[in-house]
């Protein structure tokens, strides 16, 4: 197993087959992650970010969800070919996930002690007392006093609940952590604390991470690689510098960055990207972004663009770039 | 907040020592509820009286005294006598053995089977849900008394068969209640989170979903005890339940109905007994529901 292949997602395609039609949530997404790296998965609501996360955990709700194609190679093995029992052993132990809303991600009728030690006891052969001791350590690690271990989730504030969720996720020292918008439900001051803490723990525990977020600021702080997603596709993928400082960008990325308010400029209104995301049940024939794209060309409407590598490791899925080279 | 990280493992063992068991915690909360405690004392008292009925009862349950038929309550006969001159108080004590057993065991049967069916149907959904719930629909389509009668008729009269019959007839209630609450709870993120830490389905159902859906079930079960006693009574009324002369509260109630106008005590005392049993179960049920919900912890 080479460093490079720690996690490799190839051509992942996930559809939700409902009675009303097929929702093409994720279409041919590929990315890779090396040990200790952090990948930022950025995109609007409904771009398929969470579906990818669930796909990696093999937890896409089925029915209606279905992984149609692709491979998810984790530590040299394809997770999609694993049996449910083997997969259960990986979840929580090697790959774990932080959920978006800490308010609902904890079981209201069980103490925090029970919930943290549950994951420990599921994956490690420890006695109840040892698991509890480990749970206390985890709680201290995320900055909550171990005295509160026997409290119930409703006795914690939102930020502390998210810390508990993080403690659960990190309890077994996973090699991959998937954080699904870990800060969205928190207010701004707590967001900063949680982000700072996650960054620190990631360094300490040498965990790789997939960070799903809307927040480009968080990405800039935490990530090594960034994948910009639009309508189930990665439209731009590259190292952090490529995305934030590179010359060439997908028009959607340009639009995203354009929508960030600039403190130095005195404007009354923000600059949004016109239009809406396409209906995932009826994606456009050509480029998905074409109806909203300011640089639209005739071929965009009929021909889906292929990913094009503008510089090593930096790919853009747009006709603007394929042409220039050719 | 960040300064809270000070002592690594040093502070850890302390909370471990003070952790109370789940039972102690629930009991601690339960005993603060005086009504529930009262209900518990009441039912315990009834159970004790029933257990020691041969010692307590002044007469045998089938001891007839034709000189004293329809006697009003007095010191000789605390609750009076019935149309055959049998002491109502003694019959109540002996009858309580049957009635309380039927009430509690048949609710237990309904709760277990119904709960299991409801949990499986609600959690797995799809074909299993459809199959199980259509089976439940069949049970529901038959009026529960008729269903119990037919089960009893098929199995023959007797205490155990009556309990089975009454229990099976109550399965649909519990199955429906648990299924519906599981349907809403399985969408919760903590269920997905449990899946994400590698918990198996049976673990998720028993440790995460069912504890969260208990409250409705507890209330239904505590009400169910009374209903079970009454339906057991209708069983014996048509000769399928407990055979006379063995006493049973419901049967005493329906036997006394004929004389209700002139000798109300024949109906009154079995009625009070059933009422007290149901009341205490309801009080316990309410208290238990509150005690099991940690959000109400003080």
- Cβ of B193 and A99 within 8 Å? yes
pLDDT reported for residue B14:
43
- Whether B150 and B161 have beta carbons less than 8 Å apart is answered as no
> Which of B8, B190, B207 is closest, CB to CB, to A104?
B190
- Whether A25 and A232 have beta carbons less than 8 Å apart is answered as yes
**Short-list A8, A52, A49, A42, CA closest to A236:** A42
Nearest chain A Cα distance for residue B154, angstroms: 42
Q: Which residue of B has its CA nearest to A143?
A: B5
The two tokens of residue A188 are 């701004």
Q: Which chain A residues are Cβ-neighbours of B11 within 8 angstroms?
A: 136, 140, 145-147
> Which of A143, A146, A165 is closest, CB to CB, to B12?
A146
Average pLDDT of the residues in B118-132? 91
- Cβ of B208 and A107 within 8 Å? yes
Distance, in Å, from the CA atom of B230 to the CA atom of B249, rounded to the nearest integer, reads 8
HSE, CB side, 13 Å, CA atoms: give it for residue B266.
23
pLDDT tens, position by position, A217-261: 888 888 999 999 988 888 899 898 888 888 888 888 888 888 888
Give me the residues paired with residue A229 across strands. A234
Q: Which residue of A has its CA nearest to B6?
A: A140
- Chosen for mutation from A63, A100, A109, A187 (greatest number of chain B CBs closer than 10 Å) is A109
> Which of B15, B194, B207 is closest, CB to CB, to A147?
B15
- Cβ of A137 and B9 within 8 Å? yes
Of A70-74, A321-325, B231-235, the one with minimum mean pLDDT is A321-325
pLDDT tens, position by position, A271-306: 888 888 888 888 888 888 888 888 888 888 888 888
What value does the mean pLDDT of chain A take?
85
Q: Above 50 in pLDDT, residue B127?
A: yes
pLDDT tens, position by position, B208-218: 888 888 888 88
Q: Give percent of chain B above pLDDT 90.
A: 17
B125: buried, middle or exposed (CB in 10 Å: 19+, 13-18, 0-12)? middle
pLDDT tens, position by position, A2-54: 455 688 888 899 998 888 888 888 888 888 888 888 999 988 888 888 889 88
- Cβ of B4 and A152 within 8 Å? no
Terminal Cα distance for chain B, rounded: 25
pLDDT tens, position by position, B77-118: 888 888 888 888 999 999 888 888 988 899 999 999 999 999
- Cβ of B295 and A144 within 8 Å? no
Please state the pTM of the whole predicted model: 0.74
User: Helix, strand, coil shares of chain A as percentages rounded to 5?
Assistant: 40, 25, 35
Q: Above 70 in pLDDT, residue B15?
A: no
- Chosen for mutation from A57, A64, A88, A107 (greatest number of chain B CBs closer than 10 Å) is A107
- Chosen for mutation from B19, B197, B209, B216 (greatest number of chain A CBs closer than 10 Å) is B197
Nearest chain B Cα distance for residue A110, angstroms: 8
pLDDT reported for residue B45:
93
Q: Above 90 in pLDDT, residue B44?
A: yes
Q: pLDDT-based confidence at B29, cuts 50/70/90?
A: confident
Q: Which residue has the higher pLDDT, B294 or A304?
A: A304
- Cβ of B295 and A152 within 8 Å? yes
Average pLDDT of the residues in A125-152? 89
- Chosen for mutation from A112, A146, A173, A196 (greatest number of chain B CBs closer than 10 Å) is A146
ipTM over 0.90: no
Q: How many residues does chain B have?
A: 298
């Amino acid at each position: 197993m080479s460093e490079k292949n720690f996690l490799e997602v190839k051509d992942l395609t996930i559809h939700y087959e409902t009675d009303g039609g097929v929702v093409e949530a994720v279409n041919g997404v590929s990315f890779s992650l090396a040990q200790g790296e952090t990948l930022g998965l950025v995109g609007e609501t409904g771009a398929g970010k969470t579906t990818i996360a669930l796909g990696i955990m093999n937890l896409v709700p089925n029915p209606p969800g279905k992984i149609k194609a692709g491979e998810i190679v984790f530590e040299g093995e394809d997770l999609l070919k694993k049996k449910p029992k083997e997969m259960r052993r990986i979840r929580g132990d090697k790959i774990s996930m932080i959920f978006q809303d800490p308010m609902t991600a904890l079981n209201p009728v069980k103490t925090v002690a029970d919930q943290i030690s549950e994951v420990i006891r599921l994956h490690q052969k420890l006695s109840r007392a040892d698991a509890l001791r480990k749970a206390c350590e985890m709680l201290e690690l995320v900055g909550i006093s171990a005295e509160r271990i026997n409290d119930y989730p409703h006795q914690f504030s939102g930020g502390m609940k998210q810390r508990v969720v993080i403690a659960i996720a990190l309890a077994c020292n996973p090699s991959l952590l998937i954080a699904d918008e870990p800060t969205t439900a928190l207010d701004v001051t707590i967001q900063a604390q949680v982000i700072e803490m996650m960054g620190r723990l990631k360094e300490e525990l040498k965990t790789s991470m997939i960070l799903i977020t809307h927040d480009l600021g968080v990405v800039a702080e935490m990530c090594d690689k960034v994948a910009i997603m639009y309508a189930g596709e990665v439209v731009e993928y590259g190292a952090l510098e490529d995305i934030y400082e590179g010359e060439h960008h997908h028009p959607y990325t340009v639009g995203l960055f354009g929508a960030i308010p600039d403190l130095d400029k005195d404007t009354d209104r923000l600059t949004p990207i016109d239009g809406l995301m396409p209906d995932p049940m009826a994606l456009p024939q050509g480029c998905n972004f074409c109806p909203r794209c300011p640089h639209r060309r005739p071929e965009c409407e009929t021909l889906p663009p292929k990913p094009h590598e503008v510089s090593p490791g930096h790919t853009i899925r747009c006709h603007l770039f394929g042409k220039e080279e050719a | 907040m960040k300064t809270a990280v000070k002592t690594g493992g040093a502070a850890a063992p302390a909370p471990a020592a003070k952790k109370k068991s789940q039972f102690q915690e629930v009991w601690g909360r339960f005993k603060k509820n005086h009504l529930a405690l009262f209900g518990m004392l009441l039912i315990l008292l009834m159970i004790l009286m029933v257990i020691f009925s041969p010692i307590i009862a002044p007469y045998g349950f089938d001891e007839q005294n034709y000189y004293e038929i329809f006697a009003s309550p007095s010191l000789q006969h605390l609750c009076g006598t019935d149309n055959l001159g049998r002491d109502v108080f003694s019959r109540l004590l002996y009858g309580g053995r049957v009635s309380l057993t039927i009430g509690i065991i048949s609710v237990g049967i309904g709760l277990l089977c119904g709960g299991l069916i409801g949990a499986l149907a609600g959690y797995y959904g799809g074909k299993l849900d459809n199959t199980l719930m259509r089976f439940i629909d069949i049970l529901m389509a038959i009026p529960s008394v008729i269903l119990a009668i037919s089960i009893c008729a098929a199995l023959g009269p007797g205490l155990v068969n009556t309990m089975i019959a009454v229990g099976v007839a109550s399965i649909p209630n519990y199955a429906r209640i648990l299924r519906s609450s599981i349907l809403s709870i399985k969408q919760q993120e903590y269920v997905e989170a449990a899946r994400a830490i590698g918990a198996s389905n049976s673990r998720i159902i028993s440790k995460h979903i069912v504890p969260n859906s208990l409250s409705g079930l507890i209330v239904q079960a505590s009400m169910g005890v009374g209903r079970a006693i009454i339906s057991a009574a209708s069983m014996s009324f048509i000769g399928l339940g407990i055979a006379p002369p063995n006493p049973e509260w419901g049967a005493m109630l329906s036997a006394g109905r004929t004389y209700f106008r002139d000798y109300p005590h024949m109906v009154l005392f079995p009625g009070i007994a059933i009422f007290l049993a149901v009341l205490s179960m309801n009080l316990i049920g309410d208290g238990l529901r509150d005690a099991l919900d940690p959000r109400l912890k003080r």
